[in-house]
Amino acid sequence: MKSSLVDKTDRAILTLLQQNAEKPIAEIAEQVGLTVTPCWRRIQKLEERGIISKRVTLLQGRALGLTMTVFVQVKAGRHDGKWLESFAKHAASFDEVVECYRMSGEYDYLLKVLVTDMDCFDHFYKRLVNGLEFSDVTSSFAMEQIKYTTALPLNHL
């Protein structure tokens, strides 16, 4: 089923921007068959509609010494609004947590954590579990990253 969120030209623009947000508008316009002004207007509309939320620089964690990726699964200590809100704020307060999800299934939360080594993870873990009641916390260490992308799939559009 095709979505009416964006048309074929918007999809092409989004694909190019996901590959390189610094690509000059003139190059994007040429590649999608527009002149610069209409292309820029489309990008502005995509931003206004919240389809493009921001443009960032992606860093290579390994090059910065962040060589350990850990997935931390958490079972809530209680299932009430106060605990859930407290945990969400607590988890979001750590720089090491780069992604955090509330999940269905056996565990309530999944955190993706980037650290330099086991000592750094141990320090993080002790701060994570301090002050909140948990039913269970378990960690899995990524041995190899098979795929990583920040580009969203657009084929459904």
Written as six digits, the tokens of 13 are: 């623009």
Ranges of H-type helices in 72-150: 81-92, 118-129
pLDDT for 157 equals 87
On whether both 34 and 88 belong to a single domain, the answer is: no
Residue with tokens 């873990």: 125
Distance CA(152)–CA(102), nearest Å, equals 20
Q: Are 1 and 7 in contact (CB under 8 A)?
A: no
- Write the CATH number for 78: 3.30.70.920
Question: pLDDT means per 10 residues in the chain (157 residues)?
Answer: 77 97 97 98 97 94 97 94 94 98 96 98 97 94 96 92
Q: Which domain holds residue 16?
A: 8-48
> Is residue 155 in some structural domain?
no
Domain presence at residue 150: no
Asked, for residue 76, whether it belongs to a domain, the answer is: yes
